[in-house]
Amino acid sequence: MTAQIIDGKIISAELRGKVAEEVARVVRDHGVTPGLAVVLVGSDPASEVYVRSKHKQTKEAGMASFEHRLPAEVPQAELLALIAKLNADPAVHGILVQLPLPKGLDSNAVIDAIDPAKDVDGLNPVNAGRLASGLFALTPCTPLGCIIMAKQVHASLQGMNAIVIGRSNLVGKPLVQLLLNENATVTIAHSRSRDLPALCRQADLVFAAVGKPEMVKGSWIKPGATVIDVGINRTPSPDGGKDKLVGDVAFAEAKEVAGAITPVPGGVGLMTVACLLVNTLRAACAIHGLPKPGV
């Protein structure tokens, strides 16, 4: 048995298309153009690529895109002043500060300063608390993408055994809350969990977000399980060529056992920006008191 490949390219393109339709409707019926502001501090090459991609896809969806670039040595007070300005700007419905920030800047203080109503990264403690309480919240984009991908395979996740490997605030913890909201039975595992392979083998849904190249082996996977690989790790090419991108799951082994699996690249990463557009649209509708969009 070879697993079904859950293609992030196709799923993210469909999602962006739905967002564009909803944006056009909101602009037409209510005169509201959702606006996303991205703040990039310094010139980290990976962050530069992400920001370009976000800008392009935001414009393609019919939204307003605002970019703010600050030098790596910007004082904390100046960055917080920019966030205060964006909080007060009625044209901006979503604020995303590209992480990680350069050394010397306090990420927690920056996240806390973003208006929770505009926190499209879903990292502000208010949104984290609302999500944990089962209330409407802007949710971190990567976990949201994971749920959408799992639901491409299973119409309902209700009653399924899920394991989330990794407990970060960005992926692991919010993903657990989203799975609980879907009525799944959830185990959260991490580097200190005892007998992680045995825990994995009980799961119908495996979400790997641990940041260790190919840590989850094929022998850990229950036959027929759905595997969502959040990891993106650069590993040296065996022939000395360009670095290779691999996930947290040993893909070649796992696809022979799993029922469905996401590839790396071409999987969850593509969903993250699409879900950022979803969050910006949802934020714009909530701020203007409009009904929740159909996406």
- How far, in Å, CA of 247 to CA of 215, rounded? 9
Asked if residues 85 and 95 have their Cβ atoms less than 8 Å apart, the reply is no
Instruction: Please confirm, yes or no, whether 54 is among the known catalytic residues.
Output: yes
Enter the tokens of residue 224: 């027929």
CA distances from 284 to 12, 138, 209, 277 (A): 21, 11, 30, 11
Asked if residues 56 and 63 have their Cβ atoms less than 8 Å apart, the reply is no
Active-site pick, 57, 115, 119, 121: 121
Name, in order, each residue with C-beta under 8 angstroms of 224's C-beta and a sequence gap of 6 or more: 1, 258, 259
Instruction: Please confirm, yes or no, whether 158 is among the known catalytic residues.
Output: no
Q: Which DSSP helix (H) or strand (E) runs through 141? A: helix 141-153
Name, in order, each residue with C-beta under 8 angstroms of 267's C-beta and a sequence gap of 6 or more: 6, 7, 8, 149, 228, 229, 247
- How far, in Å, CA of 238 to CA of 273, rounded? 31
Instruction: Tell the burial category of 5 from Cβ atoms under 10 Å away from its Cβ (0-12, 13-18, 19+).
Output: middle
- How far, in Å, CA of 35 to CA of 127, rounded? 19
Instruction: Please confirm, yes or no, whether 18 is among the known catalytic residues.
Output: no
Q: What angle do CA 70, 139, 117 make, to 5 degrees?
A: 65
161-170 as b/e: b if 16+ CB within 10 A: bbbbbbbbeb
Active-site pick, 57, 98, 173, 229: 98
- How far, in Å, CA of 111 to CA of 76, rounded? 12
Question: Coil, helix or strand for 86?
Answer: helix
Active-site positions read 54, 98, 121
